[in-house]
Structure 1
Amino acid sequence: MADSDSPPTATVSRGHDTREMILFGGVYGAVLASSMVAALTQYGHSSAHSRRYDALWLLITAFASALAHGYAHYIAERGPHRRGDALRALVDEWPLVTAVLPTVLVLAGAGWGWWPPDGVEYPAFALNIALLFTLGLTTARSSRRGWPTALAIGAVDALLGFVVVVANAIIK
């Protein structure tokens, strides 16, 4: 006979808060996109063809990162797993892939001739810095932080993206 104060015998996967997933995936995706653009620009070419190639590699890298994170979450959560938990863990990584899509579009657009392919990394960096700021600001506001604190948190998150840009400039 089970005691009413005893814990249940089966452990249920803790899952992840949607806001936490969006913040984690968004920040990781924006930093990943900036880092990839910096690396591809540093060691690649700036032709239209290479920008389409860069866009494809960024997308492949985002999916590979999402798969790795989803799988890591799945195996790191101790306890019994139900059928479909592995797939849910992978699907939960959608914010990471979504966060790189604007940069993929910037690179692909340069490859398709919508704008010049040379120097497209700077608008991509600015876009990712703005995304980091927005994620920090909205997350802080949704946590009921005041505007000054939320703006400061957004600025610190944007600073993360700026560090990637500065590192890219120093490397060149």
Structure 2
Amino acid sequence: MADTADTELAAPRAHRHDTREAVLFGGVYGSVLACSMVAALTQYGHSSRDSRRYDAAWLLVTALASALAHGYAHYIAERTPHRRWDALRTLADEWPLVAAVVPTAIVLAGAGWGWWPADGVEYPAFALNISLLFTLGLVTARWSHRSWAAAIGIGAVDAMLGVVVVVANAVIK
């Protein structure tokens, strides 16, 4: 009969990301994804209310698909035996990615529902995502006990990811 130590060595637990790591990674990934999707979906100047609702729906579908793909990739990349519910846990760990695109989806859907003008709504969406990127960098740096100066610098570097998307969108148009 094998003892408990042998059993634990034979079936180690899959790597679990801590919540802060998941929020930072998923938040940054989701915010950059939202910037990219808004840039792609508004490239051709469609600015009707219907197209903004469509954009919001596609943003959410893309975020869910990205979260599923990323979670699945994590799951299959683990070279250790998995337990019964590890796949669902791994997929559930991707919630920050989806949560990060929800504010942008609300901005787009709000324009589609007539809460604000549908034309030009991509600019507030870009500003929102750049602000989210800065905040994520700042907060996670402070969680890591970095100085305020370092945290602001890290937030600025994260925000630059969003700025790169906005500049690329302007150049490509």
- Tell me the TM-score range normalised by the shorter chain: over 0.9
d(CA) in 2 for partners of 1:88, 1:43? 39
Aligned: 1:150 with 2:151? yes
The reply on whether 1:53 has 2:57 as its aligned counterpart is: no
Q: How do residues 109-128 of structure 1 correspond to structure 2 at under 5 angstroms?
A: 109-128=110-129
CA distance in 2, matches of 1:138, 1:14: 24
Structure 1 position 101 matched with structure 2 position 99: no
Shift of 1:44: 5.3
2:23 is matched with which residue? 22
The residue correspondences of 1:84-99 to structure 2 (distance < 5 A) are 84-99=85-100
Show structure 1 runs of 5+ residues with no match: none
Match of 2:139 in 1: 138
TM-score (norm 1): 0.95
Q: How does 1:51-90 map to 2 (within 5 A)?
A: 51-90=52-91
Which residue identity does 1:48 align to in structure 2?
Answer: R
Taking structure 2 as the reference length, the TM-score comes to 0.94
Q: How many residues align?
A: 171
Distance in 1 between residues matched to 2:16 and 2:42, nearest whole Å: 37
Q: Residues of 1 paired with 2:136 and 2:91: CA distance?
A: 22
Please report the RMSD computed on the Cα atoms of aligned residues, expressed in angstroms.
Answer: 1.7
Partner amino acid, structure 1, of 2:139: T
Contact 1:141 1:147 in 2 (8 A): yes
Once residues 63 and 8 of structure 1 are traced to their aligned partners in structure 2, the CA distance between those partners, rounded to angstroms, is 35
| 8 A contact 1:44–1:50 mirrored in 2 | no
In 1, the alpha carbon distance for the partners of 2:145 and 2:124 equals 32
CA distance in 2, matches of 1:105, 1:171: 26
The answer for unaligned runs of 5 or more in structure 2 is: none
What's the offset of the Cα at 1:158? 0.4
What is the deviation of 1:9?
2.4
Distance 1:17 1:112 in 2: 38
Q: Distance in 2 between matches of 1:83 and 1:138?
A: 35
Secondary structure at 1:152 match in 2: helix
